[in-house]
Each structure stands twice: as structure tokens, then as C-alpha cells.
Amino acid sequence: MLALQGDVREHRDALGLVGADTLEVRRPAEVAAVDALVVPGGESTTIDRLTRIFGVREPILKRMAAGMPVFGSCAGMIMLADQVLDGHRDQQSLGGLDITVRRNAFGRQVDSFECDLDVTGLASDPAYGMVQDQPFRAVFIRAPWVERVGPRVEVLATVAYQGQDHVVAVRQGNLLATSFHPEVSGDYRVHGLFVDMVAAHVGSIGSRPDHHHEG
């Protein structure tokens, strides 16, 4: 868990319920100790600034380049996007996802809403909250949406808003991102999907003869 700002506790609790051990990451040594990273919802400009202040930006980028799985929700999606619209002038993202997102696209805090979504690829284990074919109850709070999707990006969910469909969940390789906040829904299938991604990644690198497990 990138624990610099945002809804860290809610993600930590959700990950625990799907069987993941968590570590709150605030220092470079902690970046090296984890198999994957969750970038929570919060304030993307603040998270960006704190990654540089705490010296974790470059270590995270290095781990991402080596294939570390990362999941970002809401502000975390903004942090993983290659291009951000309506951001602050000096705002930087970590990048990695070949998408363009629009910050606060659904409006202000008072415009927050919930809706049922069909999300591709959710884990079917009932322990993750609900069975596979049930819709996911998504909570949108000052959320971004995706305006451009690159050719290697898989669209996992869209939402109809003011007469148009907008992309709100994507995956590209080991990177997963949602506009909404799955950690507050009571349905942990998105976290289950990410844990499955992490397990597959750890298994693939663990099978290499030159691999030495970290942490």
C-alpha cells in the first residue's frame, strides 16, 4: 500500500479479506520489500508531490519497469495514466498505462454517485464478496474517466453518464486501474482480481533460476 495520502486503511482491509499480506509503503526500502503496490484514492496532486518528497517515485518507477503489478483506484488511476487532462501545471504521474484520463471528470464531491457495473475478469470466488455474474456496485467520488485508450489496454468497464459511455476500468499487463473506489463497496472482487494478478506474476518470476525473492 502506498501510504502517503488517501484511503489506505480501506484498501488494506479489503486486501486482507482476499488473503493478501500488506505493508504500508512510505520509504524506498519498503518499495523494494513488496511484490506489488496499490495506489489508493485521495488527491492525485498531493500523492504525486509526496512520492518525490519521500523519495519513493524513482524506486517505484524502477520496480514498475521490471514488471511489478500495480493497482490504482481513482487518484491511483490518475497516477498510472501516461497523460492527465485538467491536472495542475506541475503535476506528474507515474505513467505506465497507455491512457489519457480527465481529472475530476464526473464533477465535484457533491456529484458523487453509485451505480452497478459489468466488470470484465472479476474473480468468481464467493469469498471475494459476490459471485461472478453479479454486477459490481461502483462508488464514484470526484472520479476521473478515461478519454483515450491505447491499443494494448483492455477496457474492463464503462459507465453511461449524461448520455455518453465512459471508460472507468482498464488493465494493461500487470497494471490495473479503476475510476471508482472498490475498497468501499463491500464487494472485494476487484481486489481479488489484483491478488490473482500478483500471484501469477510472483509465480512466473519465482520459476526463473536466477530469481531471488525480495522481502
Positions annotated as catalytic residues are 74, 181, 183
Cell 490473482 locates to: 196
Query: What Rg, from alpha-carbon coordinates, does the chain have?
Result: 16
Distance CA 169, CA 119 (A): 8
By CB atoms closer than 10 A (0-12, 13-18, 19+), residue 116 is exposed
Cell 500487470 locates to: 174
Cβ 67 vs Cβ 172: under 8 Å: no
H and E: helices and strands count for the chain: 6, 10
Beta strands 164-172 and 175-178, pairing class = antiparallel
C-alpha cell at 175: 497494471
Cβ 175 vs Cβ 141: under 8 Å: no
Distance CA 113, CA 5 (A): 22
